[in-house]
Amino acid sequence: MIIKNNELQKLKATKCNLYLLYGENRGFKNQFIYENLSSEFKENIFKYNESEIFNDYNDFISSILNKSFFEEKKLYIISNVSEKILKLVEDFLSSNIEDITIIFVASILDKRSKLRNFFEKKKNTICVPFYSDQNRTLSFLASSFFKQKKISISQEVINFLVERCRGDRSNLNNEMNKIYHYAFEKGKVSFEEVFKITNLAENFSVNELIDNCLAKNKKRISAILNQNNFSDDDCILILRTMLNKSKRILKIKKEINNIKNVDTIISAYKPPIFWKDKEIVKTQIMNWDSVEIENLIYKINDIEFVVKNNTSNTLNIVSDFILNTSNKLNN
């Protein structure tokens, strides 16, 4: 059955020992496991990757199915699962063992996934999707954290921190803890200090790449692509960043029809645009009309579909797309 992550109170009424947690929000998945599932197992928690299971599948399945009478409850957390793990799920369900709980943790699973469909349709299994946190949610978490820790930090710095944490509260939590340990004695922290002590340089490069693409700065785009060691794993982040910034341009373009004053719209935009980004956002708005940006949004979605269905050369596909987009801007 499906339980959304905002309906977790339903878990208390369910008796289930098989869970599938999927989606890109790694931090929320970890928090969910810690707060809702792991407390009753004390130290009897065992963690595996899917690859470890299939290195010796028969040995693993016998170790969990042939349970000693005196053993306590156990929790198995199996990460990075794929469609292959469905075999273990079926074997486990057929055994009717009640004292073992297994949590399967996956990344993005689309609607065609056999594993996802299996968990969604079975009444004795639970499927929970964990999508990226909205910036509003992360901003609230960050503000609450620093208020509790009595660290003075501006909203603009929080916006910067949130924007560059990839919609994942795990990244945000890691960076907030670094800031706390750095600033707890003096009780305040500046933008320059936050940028220096956090691991957000790579995210900044992605944002800088897309900002310059949409601002038709072709020389800067080429320099960023050459200077940064982007990999195939970065491609979805690059495309999602481009998609979000393109949608922002489209929204502002539509508001210009009513207000006319670009500076006023940028200053009032929600979520707030960081002050250092305002000039380049203004340049982006001037480079696109509404029809062009709508077409670009469709193309970004098409490219993401291509990337997800290719196992190699995805970085080349995305880099070519960004360079071609900047060339079209110059026409």
In the chain, the domains with their CATH numbers are 8-129 (3.40.50.300), 135-199 (1.10.8.60), 202-330 (1.20.272.10)
At 144 the pLDDT is 92
Taking residues 100-111, what's their average pLDDT? 87
List the single range of 30-39, 50-59, 78-87, 121-130 with lowest mean pLDDT. 30-39
Sheet holding 100-105, edge to edge: 45-49, 74-79, 100-105, 18-22, 126-129
Give the model's confidence band at 51: pLDDT under 50 very low, under 70 low, under 90 confident, else very high: confident
CA pair distance 285, 268, nearest whole angstrom? 15
Non-local (6+) Cβ contacts of 319 within 8 A are: 225, 230
Give the model's confidence band at 200: pLDDT under 50 very low, under 70 low, under 90 confident, else very high: low
CA angle 157, 240, 161 (to 5 degrees): 10
DSSP code of residue 312 = S
Is the pTM for the entire model greater than 0.75? no
Give the model's confidence band at 331: pLDDT under 50 very low, under 70 low, under 90 confident, else very high: very low
